[in-house]
């Protein structure tokens, strides 16, 4: 069994003291850092749900297939800009693919094993590797720079506004010049006693960088100097032991108009005012992978892989689907009339956004899917942990 996906400042991982928490943390290990771990052994009392046949009301046509290399013990999240998609492998390869055909536009190799997927703005693409090495490449795949930042990086770099923004697991956020790699600013937080060993996403929202922090916090940094503009608490730690009190923001914050929404592990799902972090609504919830959104709903799987839809204005639950219970699900994507989840056996499940019923299912291969699918042009792109990248056309 894989070790717990948590880390202390001294690098010592704790042992779970309670069955529910231990099971949930192991679910995160398999969902976020899956590397051949078997969550559901013979003694497990919560085996994965058996899949029922699906009446396909949404046609999913495979358009192409490419290979980048295995993800290793990390979740290599692909990134799309326009009709291009950028992918990377644990072994050190970085590629730009044409989203329509899957054709390789460029390929670069790094001299270290990578720990993150790529971030890109279409002109500069950045990845991070072991021992905190960050690489940046230009629009043709030529290496622009290589920077040592002395810290473990599990979150994909955020690229844009002339910056490559990198965050380390010891709670530092660095703004690097996109062309030179020189440090423009650094933001440092106090470390928490225990945090999830998983990437926490960042996103630009106008003139701000929105990101989650350990301890159930959400905040916005100024891109110009890294100053914290506001911070708001989504949820507070509960329980006695440090494991019970794990309470980190998971996945990517969702921005829609003047609203930002996010989930925490062992905490809540909530929406806030983007301008100042004032709470709009919040509900008790625990998600290891974070939400997806459309213009009216938030979608998220809880720690037992039950999928929920919430009204983004009121927080009222619209529907739930428990037919994927205990099948560790990857990060979701809302696409067209569906919300898409990959699972630990390599299936892609398409659920109706309206009522949560299954409308399609495909299986690229048997390798787990933990990263969120992305859309490049009109193509749905998914990267499996086994190293293959697939392009699909939903019809």
Name the strands in the sheet holding 249-256, side by side, starting at the edge strand that comes first in the sequence. 249-256, 259-264, 267-273, 279-285
- Residue 98 domain flag: yes
* pLDDT score, position 289: 93
* pLDDT score, position 193: 57
* pLDDT score, position 383: 98
Q: Are 235 and 222 in contact (CB under 8 A)?
A: no
What is the total count of domains within the chain?
A: 1
CA angle 247, 249, 252 (to 5 degrees): 165
Q: Phi and psi at residue 266, in whole multiples of 5°?
A: 55, 40
Q: How many CB atoms lie within 10 A of CB 389?
A: 21
- Residue 209 domain flag: no
- Residue 255 domain flag: no
- Residue 1 domain flag: no
Q: Phi and psi at residue 347, in whole multiples of 5°?
A: -90, 145
> What is the SS3 assignment for 255?
strand
Tell me the per-residue pLDDT of 45-100, one tens digit each, with 9 for 90 and over. 789 999 999 999 999 999 999 999 999 999 999 999 999 999 999 999 999 999 99
Q: Are 384 and 365 in contact (CB under 8 A)?
A: yes
DSSP 8-class letter at 174: E
- Residue 103 domain flag: yes
Residue ranges for the chain with pLDDT beneath 50: 1-43
Task: Give the contacts of 67 (CB within 8 A, at least 6 positions apart).
Answer: 387, 388, 389
- Residue 62 domain flag: no
CA gap 241, 90 in Å, rounded = 34
Tell me the per-residue pLDDT of 291-324, one tens digit each, with 9 for 90 and over. 999 999 999 999 999 999 999 999 999 999 999 9
Name the strands in the sheet holding 104-109, side by side, starting at the edge strand that comes first in the sequence. 79-81, 84-88, 93-98, 104-109
Residue 157: domain span:
69-191
Does the global pTM surpass 0.85? yes
Which residue intervals of the chain are DSSP H helices? 19-32
Q: What is the CATH number of the domain that holds 120?
A: 2.40.128.630
Structure tokens at 369: 């899917």
Q: How many CB atoms lie within 10 A of CB 186?
A: 12
CA gap 208, 275 in Å, rounded = 10
Strands (E), 302-342: 307-311, 317-321, 333-335, 338-342
* pLDDT score, position 238: 79
- Residue 80 domain flag: yes
> What is the SS3 assignment for 344?
coil
DSSP 8-class letter at 87: E
CA gap 126, 119 in Å, rounded = 5
DSSP 8-class letter at 205: -
> What is the SS3 assignment for 154?
coil
Which residue intervals of 151-226 are DSSP H helices? none
* pLDDT score, position 365: 96
CA gap 111, 5 in Å, rounded = 26
Q: Phi and psi at residue 28, in whole multiples of 5°?
A: -70, -40
- Residue 36 domain flag: no
């Amino acid at each position: 069994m894989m070790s717990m996906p948590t880390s202390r400042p001294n690098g010592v991982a704790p042992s779970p003291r309670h069955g529910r928490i231990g099971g949930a943390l192991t679910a995160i290990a398999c969902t976020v850092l899956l590397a051949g771990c078997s969550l559901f052994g013979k003694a497990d009392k919560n085996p994965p749900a058996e899949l029922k046949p699906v009446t396909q009301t949404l046609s999913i046509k495979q358009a192409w297939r490419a290979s980048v290399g295995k993800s290793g013990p990390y979740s290599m999240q692909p990134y799309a800009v326009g009709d291009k998609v950028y992918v990377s492998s644990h072994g050190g390869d970085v590629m730009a693919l044409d989203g329509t055909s899957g054709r390789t536009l460029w390929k670069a190799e790094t001299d270290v094993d990578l720990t993150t997927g790529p971030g890109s703005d279409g002109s500069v693409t950045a990845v991070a590797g072991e021992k905190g090495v960050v690489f940046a490449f230009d629009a043709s795949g030529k290496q622009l720079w290589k920077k040592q930042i002395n810290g473990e990086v599990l979150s994909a770099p955020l690229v844009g506004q002339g910056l490559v923004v990198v965050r380390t697991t010891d709670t530092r956020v660095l703004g690097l010049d996109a062309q030179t790699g020189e440090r423009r600013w650094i933001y440092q937080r106090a470390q928490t006693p225990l945090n999830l060993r998983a990437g926490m996403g960042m996103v630009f929202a106008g003139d701000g960088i929105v990101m989650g922090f350990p301890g159930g916090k959400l905040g916005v940094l100024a891109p110009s100097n890294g100053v914290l503009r506001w911070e708001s608490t989504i949820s507070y730690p509960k329980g006695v032991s440090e494991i019970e009190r794990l309470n980190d923001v998971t996945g990517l914050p969702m921005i829609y108009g003047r609203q930002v929404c996010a989930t925490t592990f062992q905490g809540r799902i909530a929406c806030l005012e983007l301008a100042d972090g004032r709470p709009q609504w919040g509900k008790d919830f625990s998600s290891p992978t974070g939400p997806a959104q459309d213009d009216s709903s938030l979608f998220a799987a809880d720690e037992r892989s039950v999928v929920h839809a919430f009204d983004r204005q009121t927080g009222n639950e619209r529907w739930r689907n428990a037919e994927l219970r205990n099948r560790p699900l990857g990060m979701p994507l809302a696409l067209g009339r569906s919300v898409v989840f990959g699972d630990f056996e390599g299936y892609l499940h398409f659920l109706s956004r309206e009522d949560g019923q299954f409308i399609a299912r495909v299986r690229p291969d048997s390798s787990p899917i933990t990263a969120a699918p992305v859309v490049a042009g009109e193509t749905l792109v998914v990267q499996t942990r086994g190293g293959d990248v697939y392009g699909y056309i939903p019809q």
